Structure 1
Amino acid sequence: MAKLGSEMKDDNQASPSSSTSAEHGFDATLWRKFWKAPSLPRVKEVAWRVCVGAVPTRLCLRRRGMDLDPSCPVCGHEEESIDHLFIHCPVARGCWFVSLGVRTDAGTSTFMDFMAAVLRNKDGWCIAEVQRMIYCLWEGRNKVLFELREPGCATVLSRFAAMESPSQLGTNGNQVDWSVVKWSRPAAGMIKINVDASLGGDLLAGFGMVARDEDGEILAAASHYPTVATSATMAEAFCLRWAMELSSQLGFRRVQFETDCLQLFHAWKKGVGRSPLFSLLQDCKTFVQLFDCVEFTFTRRQGNTCADFMARNASTLSNIVWVEEAPRVYVAFYRQIFWLLCRL
């Protein structure tokens, strides 16, 4: 429900704290990175309109002659400019830090400075996450203004976690039919451990894992609930740490952990800056030494169906480990789906 204006650009840029994209070196290369990011089209459009100053902030509308209070509807502390709403507002600062580990109160003077740094230094998946947070901040502001919702980080973070993530999209940001994807066998002598997390609107996450050998036979299944997580990626990282520790306790030595979270997979392979996610991944990598052989792979959700089932039902399955079997509630699902998707 991101309400947008079509001719707000000049008035937003008239703000003393605002500036144009050209002044920050936004050349064609940076804009190509912006548009190639694997975000939903509506998310990209909102983020682009914010970048070019084409959103109807209250300060903008006041300058266009409307008789209204220009104060930020979210915090009420300052006039609602683009820079304030997306960078300096206490709610925005909290959301950026909790979700992505970004400190917008540390040397970031304007929104365009922030976006220029993101486009120059981050890859497409990180840019997509930034675009998604911009969308959620604007949507959250509109809910406060038009639906009289309570302002705060919780609403924005809940929406950010619930929105479709780039890992569910193709490289061009379009939805892809992955119905042909299925579970694949690990190498001989390896145990594949599929892991997944399910994050609810209350920011409580459930975890699921299923361990299988090269023949597809279940060696163990487990669920865990609840853990507080501020984003879907953080929930997946918590889940991986839990699964690695549990796998070590079960005596698995040659393991292949598989996730359907592409952000987590990229963060594991390429690393991330100092952030809550960085700390979690460091914890995970300390567990590597507990195994003789460790691999970390990515699959689409259709190849992770069993772990997804365990995660989504973690609140009812309780914190139980089933060794060399599956939980009884899982049997019907196993018979109907597992043999279709998980056998070669």
Structure 2
Amino acid sequence: MEDALFWAAAQDGIYCAKSGYQFLQEKVSRSSPSSSSAPTLSEAQWCLFWKSPAFPRCKQLAWRVWVGAVPVRHSLRRRGLDIDPCCAICGVEEETLDHLFLRCEVVRATWFGTELGVRIDDGVSFHAFMGQVLQTRDKEVVAAVQTVLCAIWEARNKVVFEGYEFRWRNVVSRFQSLVCPFDPGAGTTRDAGDRRAHTTRWRRPPRGRVKMNIDAATNQSKIAGFGCVARDYNGDILAAASLFPTVVLSATLGEALSLRWAMVLATQLGFRRVQFETDSLLLHRAWKKRRGSSILFTVIAYCFNLMHLFDYVDLSFVRREGNSAADFMARNASSLSNVVWVEEGPPGLTAILNSDVLASVPS
């Protein structure tokens, strides 16, 4: 597709005088000194922060983290308390706000295990991370992040005061129970069909269709590996493939590029009726919106241009547990030599496929 220009300060990518004025105002506010150590947010960002559909206690906790009002051990020790400053979860590093909510290894697994699938970079600060979240201008994503923070804090306090062990799967489960009223995968209707689409396990496609699960694994250097696995109604593997390396600007863009790659591959393999499936919530939402002005939507638009090559094509969302096969292909893409397997897969994939089939229920 041809190159295009986008105005990053507007949600639709189109410049107007109002968005230009707001951009300049935010630039001035960022450069002005503040009495708080926390960066200054614009009025629009605070509005997005407080109007998210998260529970009030989740939003309040996220605000307290933003302004540094959460009593982590580093802060308590600075105030004169004679306590061990090490993290209550890992016991290795000092328990600061950035470490507890982002950098702790177990907490990183928690972020990655949620539907957001966030990979936390080394050295990232909470303010920088939250700033990126607010730039998405997506209330559901902001609410999900606020809820994860609340679930992490609850689990940490159980470790300190009740002697529980911090398990990231339990924190993800708690997050899912809190996020249920505004389930991002289901929207606001939350009917039976939406709940089925937001499943935690792999499901067989209807007869006559091919389900192709896709995934992208992006490292800290923004190098991504793509993986996909195609199966039929019986759960029999039709094809498996990987691609490495690809340079991407973000993990979500990597997921979108993996979809484009998988669609081209599906046409080469002769699949005409395909149900693509991803564990990227942001990619699925962008697919459903179908239009917008950003680099992500440029890739989505390219994918829509490929739809005429299929008799049927759609993109569904599944939680990470239901996308294990594609995740395996993506994570091992660097060692799989860009091979396409037909009616078979690389060593190690069979066990995952058997587990999916045994757990699946015919649609």
| 1:1-344 matches, cutoff 5 A | 13=34, 31-33=50-52, 45-47=64-66, 49=67, 122-127=137-142, 170=176, 172=178, 181-271=200-290, 273-335=292-354, 337-342=355-360
- Structure 1: how far apart are the matches of 2:279 and 2:327? 9
Residues 46-87 of structure 1: CA deviation (Å, up to 9, x unaligned): 44x29x9xxxxxxxxxxxxxxxxxxxxxxxxxxxxxxxxxxx
Distance in 2, Cα, partners of 1:220 & 1:201: 29
Deviation at 1:270, TM superposition (A): 1.5
Instruction: Give aligned-pair identity as a percent.
Output: 44
Secondary structure of the structure 2 residue equivalent to 1:328: coil
**TM-score, normalization by structure 1:** 0.55
Shift of 1:331: 3.1
**Residue 127 (structure 1) shift:** 3.6
Rate the CA distance shift 1:206–1:19 in 2: closer, same or farther, 3 A: closer
Any idea what SS the aligned residue of 1:251 has? coil
Query: Displacement of 1:230 after TM fit?
Result: 2.3
1:262-310 deviation digits (Å, cap 9, x = unpaired): 1100011014642211111111111111101112111111111111111
Q: CA deviation at 1:32?
A: 3.4
Distance 1:343 1:225, change over 3 A: farther
Q: Distance in 2 between matches of 1:195 and 1:20?
A: 36
* TM value normalised by structure 2: 0.52
SS in 1 for 2:52: helix
Q: CA deviation at 1:328?
A: 3.1
Give 3-state SS (helix, strand or coil) of 1:235's partner.
helix
Amino acid at match of 1:170: Q
Relative distance call for 1:213 and 1:26 in structure 2 (3 A) is: closer
Structure 1 gaps, min length 5: 1-10, 53-110, 132-165
Distance 1:306 1:280, change over 3 A: same
- What count of residue pairs does the alignment treat as equivalent? 233
How far 1:169 sits from its partner (Å)? 5.5
1:33 alignment partner, SS class: coil
Q: Distance in 2 between matches of 1:310 and 1:331?
A: 12
Partners of 1:281 and 1:244 in 2: how far apart? 11
Give 5+ residue unaligned stretches, structure 2: 1-31, 70-126, 147-171, 184-198
User: For 1:309, what is the secondary structure of its paired residue?
Assistant: helix
Per-residue Cα deviation, 1:101-121 (whole angstroms, up to 9, x for no partner)? xxxxxxxxxx9xxx8xx69x9
Shift of 1:324: 1.3
- SS of corresponding position for 2:238: strand
